[in-house]
Amino acid sequence: MPEALARTGPISAHTHPRLREGKAEAMTERVREILSWYGSDNPGTRANLARMLGHGRLAGTGRMIILPVDQGFEHGPARSFQPNPPGYNPRYHIELAIKAGLSAYAAPLGFIEAVAGDYAGEIPLILKANNHELLVGEDPDPISAVTASVDDALRLGCAAVGFTIYPGSALAREMYEQAREIAAEAKAAGLAVVIWSYPRGSHLSKEGETGLDVVSYAAHIAAQLGAHIVKVKLPSAHLELMAAAKVYQQAHVPAETLADRVRHVVQSAFDGRRIVIFSGGPVSADAAILDEARAIAAGGGFGSIIGRNSFQRAEPDALRLLAQMAEIYGA
């Protein structure tokens, strides 16, 4: 049994002295600037944003790395965890996030309930409030089921709630209404809101799901729905929407490099006044992931939310990769 799963108590800065720096909270001028973008929010919500921005190796930098582990629900346990079997245990993931000095840990209700008590206060938690599964196949117009509530997030001591929308789905408008409702409830309770905005549906081509115009549109929609933190996929140079493509071409919007495209996505989220982080996607080689992190940093992105590329690796390999990413974002 791996050491991380064999121990009897939660990780702490006392049992793992190397984490003391990783757990340090920092209120810097950069964090104050970011918080000023959310002036209409109550002090509780802004304090929870500060918790995430002030936690871990990147504390105080305005950058974040978040570990999301909703893939068991979304893709099935074998596909998600068999590549690294310790991942079947919910404790493995939160311990990985703590050891790596990450900004926050995000998961559905069951995984959060399994660990929240033993690890209370050790890392900010994000409760993923909706999820979908593939037992009935991939719907061309997907919609997720609401699987947790703001009350659950409060009961479990979470800093934020997370919610997925699929712009481009025929059911997108229903998801927008759900997202706005849960965002309003979360903010009233002093929680932050993270929106996974993943274009998908019968109105988009597969290539279009990550097209620059579509990803930028998705980031803007999430910001308009009240997200404090917007999660999107890295954009390609493809342009999907004819009317938008004309504008991009006439305005000569830079799109040649990934850094250029990241910069435009961030610009689309209120001219960079919303936190935009980028997902890691399927497992890739370390070098490719680190190159993506450099492009995100160069383009003004706020960091990464990296799931399979961390928990599907053996723990030492994951910790090394996450440390290298933190060095890039903290430079």
- DSSP annotation of 234 reads P
Radius of gyration of the chain (CA): 19
Tokens linked to 140: 């061309």
Cβ-count burial of 137 within 10 angstroms (0-12 exposed, 13-18 middle, 19+ buried)? Answer: exposed
Contact of 235 with 197, CB cutoff 8 Å: no
Tokens linked to 57: 């190796």
CA distance 251 to 68: 36
Nearest to 234 by CA among 272, 263, 205: 263
Q: How many other C-beta atoms lie within 10 A of the C-beta of residue 330?
A: 14
Q: What is the phi/psi pair of residue 231, to 5°?
A: -110, 120
What's the chain's length in residues? Answer: 331
CA 130 to chain centre: 14
Give Cα separations from 142 to 75, 121, 199, 203, 214 (angstroms): 14, 35, 10, 12, 17
Q: Which residue has the tokens 């919303």?
A: 274
CA geometry: angle 16, 304, 50, nearest 5 deg: 65
Annotated active-site residue 231? The verdict is yes
Contact of 228 with 275, CB cutoff 8 Å: yes
**Catalytic pick among 23, 128, 187, 231:** 231
Q: How many other C-beta atoms lie within 10 A of the C-beta of residue 246?
A: 11
Contact of 297 with 287, CB cutoff 8 Å: no
Enzyme catalytic residues: 231
